Structure 1
Amino acid sequence: MTQSVTSTTVQEWIAHDPDPETAAELSACSEEELDERFGRSLTFGTAGLRGPLRGGPNGMNLAVVLRTTWGVAQVLERRGLGGTQVVVGRDARHKSDEFALATAEVLTARGFEVMLMLAAVPTPIVAFMVRHMHATAGIQITASHNPPGDNGYKVYFEHGLQINSPIDEEIEAAIAEAPPADEIPRAKVETGGMEEIRHYIARAANVRRTTDDVRVALTPLHGVGGDYALDALVRAGITDIHVVENQFQPDPDFPTVPSPNPEEPGATDALLELAADKDADIAIALDPDADRCAVGIPTSEGWRMLSGDETGWLLGDYTLSQIDPGPVSEDVLVASSVVSSRMLARIAEAHGAQHLETLTGFKWLARADDQIPGSTLVYAYEEAIGHCVDPSAVRDKDGISAMVLACDLVAALKSQGRTVQDALDALARRHGVHTTTAVSRPVADADEAADVLTRLRDTPPDRLCGYEVSVTDLLQADDHRRTDALILTAGDAETSVRLVVRPSGTEPKVKSYIEVRVSCHDDEDLETARGRARELQDELVAVARQW
């Protein structure tokens, strides 16, 4: 055992572990395993705490949940918010119900007015409720699209915004001062929330703008979104819906998919088969907590899933097309993250609106209009299929309202005799062909990730795809974009390439986000331009894999 992880530390944790199963599990661990579990604690990443279900401070377990909730309560009370209302929800993962109940019980014992959701709910419902009910905070027990063996703890403060710095650091510091888990008081709590759920469904349905028919194929990937998605679609007047039956009910083991992440290969195979069989107009996959939405479309070569960027371009353009150009549009703001495509900036300019690039994650995207006084955020997205299409209702990514808007877009295009591919082609001709992809390098821990970034800072490439490289180190930024990331750009007026390299905020990986833009001239075949862009993208992928 290392000096920082002493036998006394471990034995005290085990002695005060309120869960006999994790206490016994820790007692049977080797010294090496105990070093890994006690060498560091879970910290707030891009979207809260996430980790494997296991004993010790570096995992998700009852003791960690109790101590974290104690820390959240401490921070709220220090801010003069003791006794205020807090919403507590959960997804359908292993232990989520137990963790949500424990969270609510700790807050109730501290005198907070707690609304514990009566059933498993999508994460955006908790974000909506905090905003709608003017609650002080919201906590959702979820690990979103992580593997079945993980769980997590996501925190919202006022206005339904995810916590960011320095609040996350204040909570972590408070957790370090927390008493032993079995000594934290808990009190009985009642469940509720049905009326608020109905309000959310009505609001999600209301993002629809047309009344045209559309046939939908849908899967919630064994998550909690199924019934809520059906309710929202029907309320929006969309009734021709076909679901992947064996993926519709919540199942924390996600038995029919290799990964519950709609972006991963194989995750949407059954959905696309169903869409083809039913001759659907659009295919929708929600991730397990329904905060992300993946879109599939038919093409001349068969069905395919859109990238998060492609969906972002389409929904951003569709949203801005509803706003008349002029003084109003000049105050309208759309946002995308630093690792997402730059095409949304061009789309916004064409509509006379503003665009802001933020750090990765919706705790930053949802606050985009804070950076531009007088602006109104109407849409935000990140490449990892997260879309905020109704910021005045949900200041976070919301797969269900995004689903409704995507179906509405397809219906509108269909009524014009156009397809989604037609819309993508029109954007490419107007703003240039953009291709995007990402390369992930697994690392052992945060220290190894930092080493990779340090080496790249010390010796960045001097050329990419034959162009001289310009390096932007966001650690040196003095504005809202300051973070541990490097942006490498190169190119000219006709062709540009971009690489953003950063440590993942949720997984042990260093990720390289790649974008190529190639101008498309009026006399040029679109596929020729796309072919040139893909060749350059392949070059960048090969470079990124060397890091």
Structure 2
Amino acid sequence: MINKLAGKKAPKETLVNVKELINAYYKNKPEVKEQTQKVSFGTSGHRGNSFKSSFNENHILAITQALCEYRKNAGINGIMHIGIDTHALSEPAQITALKVFLANKIKCKIANKYKFTPTPVLSFTILESNKNSEFLNDGIVITPSHNPPSDGGYKYNMPNGGPADTDVTSIIENRANEILKNDLKDIKVIDEDKIMQSEYLEVIDFITPYVESLETIIDMNIIKEAKLKIGVDPLGGSGLEVYKKINEIYGLELDIVNQKIDPTFSFMSCDHDGKIRMDCSSKYAMSSLIDLSKKYDIAFANDPDFDRHGIVTKSMGLMNPNHYLAVAIWYLFSNRTWKDELYVGKTLVSSSMIDKVVNSLNKKLFEVPVGFKWFVEGLHKGTLAFGGEESAGASFLRKDGTAWSTDKDGVILNLLAAEITANLKRDPGEIYKEFEEEFGKAYYKRVDAPANFEQKAKLKKLSVEDITSKTLAKEEIEAIYTNASGNKASIGGLKVTTKSGWFAARPSGTEDIYKIYAESFISEEHLELIVKEAQDLVIKSIEG
């Protein structure tokens, strides 16, 4: 059900009280016997809310100390790069983390006058720092991504530049909870007023080297020469200075329509449920930029940590992320001189239109569970040309086939949309319409519903044997998966496919909900039937 506030500015009385939120960060202490207040690393790190005692100073102290111990045991002895986004809790969490890192004599680098650091910039920086280095360098990004203003997040990126996998995060998670249980007795910490004087801290410019290197992955000249009218909305996120620097270095004259940095995100339009959520793939959250779409040849936006992209075209308005991923893959393989044997990565909940496009290119598909971490190794080694998620997160290789970032990069996906428009004189929406003519129209939907910890655990353990029906939406079931076809990793749920459609069901790793993804190549009615039957199955499995 769509909330009456969807697409409208949030009433002033609904905005988060930043002072109270930060006070709660320091004042509230988690009860470690309460599952929702423990350290818990989902697909994108630990996330929580200080009002709910799920993201507080004690959490960050414990996680950071656990990370220090992990690094030592793993032989990671180089620089810890630290980036934050514009959420209210990000800066307090950075201060807490620095107190622990520096007490453990770990060399840290943080941003200079560009106080905020996008996730892709941090990933790029880690990879660059490890070239010709005798030490192993890594980093953390303090961000809850597109989550509401009251949330905080903490994500660890390995020396390969990408988000840590569960074999690492489980060690950190377990140790952090043990530290919490022992009343923080194992914490090493320095006083806050000694942070900036520490010999182990260096303040640097993360953004300029990243922007200067963009020409190695995007054809910046063709964009400039086309003199496109380009609109950009950073949505109050960490990459505002990236776009300013792009204009400075490349002379693109991007029109940055919103330059406000406000931790309440009061300038945002409410999402489908009436909440402020900086989701650049939501037509409700993006309504202000969509209203300006006819003014620009191409327009785009990002979420607060800039790992997601939102593409707005004259031909289609806000593009469905699945649609744009299909276009991006087609364009890159048609306009880059990469090796023939490179794979294309997609998550199993992404559109099957991508499968059809990849097949038409005679390329190999690498389908994985939800989580960008599954693409890290391939991007790092240069065997995976592209890795993308249905939630508008993707990255790809440089023009020479080497790694750029091994985390999601909303900046390069946005600039690629400008390159496509400049080079082909057609925007990505027009190209996708050609795909529909060739491959058929795809009807896609994601449905979220409330689920508590126990219900999510049941859904995660669904097996092939739990599906007793032989048909789905009046079509014969062709396959049932609990492991992804590309890397055989567990889905944490399941996927059911037929000739003309499919659905996947899985619990959220960061919110108290479960998610159903579904697609039909027949009709909207057929899609709704798939969704209904999928919901019936999930409800039966988690409430039975």
- Map 1:520-535 onto structure 2 (within 5 A): 532-535=522-525
| Alpha-carbon separation, structure 2, partners of 1:52 and 1:202 | 36
| Alpha-carbon separation, structure 2, partners of 1:502 and 1:271 | 31
Q: Tell me whether 1:401 sits opposite 2:412 in the alignment.
A: yes
Q: Tell me whether 1:250 sits opposite 2:261 in the alignment.
A: yes
Aligned to 1:359: 369
Q: Which amino acid aligns with 1:541?
A: V
Kept after mapping to 2: 8 A contact 1:155/1:163:
yes
The CA deviation at 1:208 is 2.5
Kept after mapping to 2: 8 A contact 1:223/1:251:
no
Aligned to 1:151: 152
Unmatched 5+ residue regions in structure 1? 1-18, 27-32, 518-531
Which of 532, 535, 541 is the aligned partner of 1:542? Answer: 532
| Deviation readout 1:174-207 (Å, 9 max, x if unpaired) | 2134363476222444465544421111223543
Kept after mapping to 1: 8 A contact 2:504/2:517:
yes
- Map 1:34-113 onto structure 2 (within 5 A): 37=34, 40-54=37-51, 56=53, 59-82=54-77, 84-113=78-107
Q: Bigger shift: 222-231 or 476-485? A: 476-485
Larger RCO: Structure 1 or Structure 2 (Cα < 8 Å, ≥ 6 residues apart)?
2
Kept after mapping to 1: 8 A contact 2:162/2:376:
yes
| Alpha-carbon separation, structure 2, partners of 1:38 and 1:542 | 31
Aligned to 1:458: 466
Identity of aligned residues (%): 23
- Structure 2 CA distance for partners of 1:462 and 1:234, relative to 1, 3 Å: farther
Q: Tell me whether 1:389 sits opposite 2:389 in the alignment.
A: no
**Helix, strand or coil at the partner of 2:445:** strand
| Alpha-carbon separation, structure 2, partners of 1:454 and 1:408 | 44
Kept after mapping to 2: 8 A contact 1:207/1:405:
no
- Structure 2 CA distance for partners of 1:433 and 1:36, relative to 1, 3 Å: farther
Q: Tell me whether 1:129 sits opposite 2:125 in the alignment.
A: yes
| Alpha-carbon separation, structure 2, partners of 1:488 and 1:398 | 30
Root mean square deviation, CA, Å: 2.7
Aligned to 1:6: none
Aligned to 1:15: none
Q: Which amino acid aligns with 1:255?
A: S
**Helix, strand or coil at the partner of 2:501:** strand
Q: Which amino acid aligns with 1:420?
A: P
**Helix, strand or coil at the partner of 2:404:** coil
Kept after mapping to 2: 8 A contact 1:337/1:357:
yes
| Deviation readout 1:223-246 (Å, 9 max, x if unpaired) | 22222123235534422x33333x
| Deviation readout 1:416-449 (Å, 9 max, x if unpaired) | xx3433311222233333332211122123x112
Q: Which amino acid aligns with 2:386?
A: Y
Kept after mapping to 1: 8 A contact 2:346/2:387:
yes
- Structure 2 CA distance for partners of 1:23 and 1:346, relative to 1, 3 Å: closer
Aligned to 2:239: 225
- Structure 2 CA distance for partners of 1:38 and 1:186, relative to 1, 3 Å: same
Kept after mapping to 2: 8 A contact 1:42/1:51:
no
Question: Could you tell me the TM-score, scaled by structure 1's length?
Answer: 0.81
Kept after mapping to 2: 8 A contact 1:90/1:140:
yes
Aligned to 1:338: 348
Aligned to 2:442: 434
Unmatched 5+ residue regions in structure 2? 1-21, 131-135, 271-276, 539-544
Q: Which amino acid aligns with 1:347?
A: V
Kept after mapping to 2: 8 A contact 1:69/1:103:
yes
- Structure 2 CA distance for partners of 1:358 and 1:368, relative to 1, 3 Å: farther
Kept after mapping to 1: 8 A contact 2:448/2:513:
yes
The CA deviation at 1:163 is 0.4
Q: Tell me whether 1:115 sits opposite 2:109 in the alignment.
A: yes
| Alpha-carbon separation, structure 1, partners of 2:28 and 2:89 | 16
- Structure 2 CA distance for partners of 1:215 and 1:234, relative to 1, 3 Å: farther
**Helix, strand or coil at the partner of 2:235:** coil
Q: Which amino acid aligns with 1:533?
A: S
- Structure 2 CA distance for partners of 1:23 and 1:405, relative to 1, 3 Å: closer
Which of 183, 187, 190 is the aligned partner of 1:184? Answer: 187
| Alpha-carbon separation, structure 2, partners of 1:65 and 1:197 | 25
Q: Bigger shift: 178-187 or 130-139? A: 178-187
Q: Which amino acid aligns with 2:187?
A: I
| Alpha-carbon separation, structure 2, partners of 1:387 and 1:477 | 19
- Structure 2 CA distance for partners of 1:460 and 1:146, relative to 1, 3 Å: farther
- Structure 2 CA distance for partners of 1:285 and 1:477, relative to 1, 3 Å: closer
Q: Bigger shift: 92-101 or 69-78? A: 92-101
Q: Tell me whether 1:203 sits opposite 2:213 in the alignment.
A: yes
Which of 330, 334, 347 is the aligned partner of 1:317? Answer: 330
- Structure 2 CA distance for partners of 1:98 and 1:533, relative to 1, 3 Å: same
